[in-house]
């Protein structure tokens, strides 16, 4: 029978044998898979694992600093790279969802490539690929293929001639969490909702600007913070907010306003392939809605998405 203790012991021994004194470079995302994979490899080869965490300017509010801090606490050899402006420049004026994904993916590869070349003698590329990623990449619709190219930083291995090491590629998500627990990783990190590689870039419908990112970060932070405060965070699979390319009329005092609309999205699911909208309590939605409208300048209307997948998707783009 599979146990996470045995898995950790056997995998660390395998990695030591396979990697020897070689250097490994790896991009971390703050997500569960890449974190668990990195800690496993780190346990095997220590400082020979070089991690890179890129701020693409599309992360949640405060996420870059928080995640970087927690990686440092875990003892990882990690470099945070602020590439916000590069991403905003690459995205300027783009409105098509796939064009935005491509621009984000390409910019990511450029940044990662540049950073990796600052390291000498790297032989391996570490990745947090899990078993369902492998199955998913050969099935369904377009965006999944794109997902792979982001997750697995497609194109890099050929270009850099790196061999790939992916210690979690036989595991399912729940097994990854168990392994993470065995490795002593913070439960807050292991329990994190999935978050797409292109981040808020695909939750700002239409073109992306730093100002829109700031607005959406505030909205998202109130929503996610509210879910945590009300004990609802662990009851949903994934949650977030979409900034719609729509303005609506509102009223404040004697003034008419004409401002942005945001849609909140929270779903229940077991694998993200199908999902139902989360039946969040009305009182909670009321609190979050008035918090958002009162605190976030530029937003005067909040709606809640009650579509299930299929036929809708979890993200709006």
Is there a cis peptide before residue 310, judged by omega within 30 degrees of 0?
yes
Contacting residues for 306 by C-beta, under 8 A, at least 6 apart: 277
* Residue 169 near ligand XMP by CB under 6 A: no
* Residue 203 near ligand XMP by CB under 6 A: no
Q: At its nearest, how many Å lie between ligand XMP and the CB of residue 100? A: 9
Element (H, E) at 55: strand 49-55
Q: Does the annotation flag 206 for ligand binding?
A: no
Q: At its nearest, how many Å lie between ligand XMP and the CB of residue 148? A: 9
Residue numbers 135-154 binding ligand XMP by CB under 6 A? 143, 146-147, 150-151
304 three-state secondary structure:
strand
- Sole binder of ligand XMP in the list 63, 272, 285, 305 (CB under 6 A): 272
Site track for ligand XMP across 277-316, x = CB under 6 A:
--------------------------------x---xxx-
Nearer to ligand XMP, 30 or 45 (CB): 30
198 three-state secondary structure:
coil
Q: Does the annotation flag 67 for ligand binding?
A: no
Q: Does the annotation flag 32 for ligand binding?
A: yes
Q: Does the annotation flag 34 for ligand binding?
A: yes
Q: Does the annotation flag 186 for ligand binding?
A: no
Q: Which two tokens stand for residue 237?
A: 């699979």
* Residue 196 near ligand XMP by CB under 6 A: yes
For residues 104 and 116, what is the distance between their CA atoms, to the nearest angstrom?
A: 18
* Residue 126 near ligand XMP by CB under 6 A: no
For residues 292 and 39, what is the distance between their CA atoms, to the nearest angstrom?
A: 37
Residues 5 and 177 sit within 8 Å (Cβ to Cβ) = no
**How far is CA 260 from each of CA 33, 47, 297, 299, rounded to the nearest angstrom?**
35, 47, 9, 5
| Residues near ligand XMP, by CB under 6 A | 101, 143, 146-147, 150-151, 194, 196-198, 238, 272, 309, 313-315
């Amino acid at each position: 029978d599979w146990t996470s203790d045995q898995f950790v012991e056997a995998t660390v021994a395998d990695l030591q044998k396979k990697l020897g004194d070689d250097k490994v470079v790896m991009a971390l995302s703050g997500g569960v898979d890449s974190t668990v994979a990195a800690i496993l490899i780190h346990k095997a080869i220590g400082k020979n694992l070089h991690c890179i965490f890129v701020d693409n300017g599309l992360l949640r509010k405060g996420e870059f600093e928080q995640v970087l801090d927690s990686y440092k606490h875990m003892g990882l050899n990690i470099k945070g790279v602020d590439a916000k402006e590069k991403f905003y420049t690459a995205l300027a004026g783009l409105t098509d969802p796939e064009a935005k994904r491509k621009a984000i993916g390409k910019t990511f590869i450029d940044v990662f490539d540049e950073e990796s070349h600052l390291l000498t003698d790297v032989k391996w590329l570490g990745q947090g690929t899990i078993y369902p990623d492998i199955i998913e990449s050969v099935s369904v619709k377009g965006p999944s293929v794109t997902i792979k190219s982001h997750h697995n930083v497609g194109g890099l291995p050929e270009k850099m001639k790196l061999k790939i090491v992916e210690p979690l590629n036989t595991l399912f998500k729940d097994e990854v969490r168990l392994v993470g627990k065995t490795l002593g990783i913070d439960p807050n990190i292991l329990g994190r909702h999935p978050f797409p590689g292109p981040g808020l870039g695909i939750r700002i419908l239409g073109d992306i600007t730093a100002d829109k990112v700031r607005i959406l970060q505030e909205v998202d932070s109130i929503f996610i913070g509210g879910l945590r405060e009300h004990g609802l965070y662990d009851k949903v699979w994934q949650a977030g907010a979409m900034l719609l390319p729509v303005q609506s009329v509102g009223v404040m005092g004697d003034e008419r306003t004409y401002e942005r609309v945001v849609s909140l999205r929270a779903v229940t699911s077991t694998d993200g392939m199908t999902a139902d909208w989360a039946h969040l309590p009305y009182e909670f939605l009321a609190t979050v809605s008035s918090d958002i409208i009162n605190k976030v300048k530029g937003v005067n209307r909040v709606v809640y998405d009650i579509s299930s997948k299929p036929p809708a998707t979890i993200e709006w783009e």
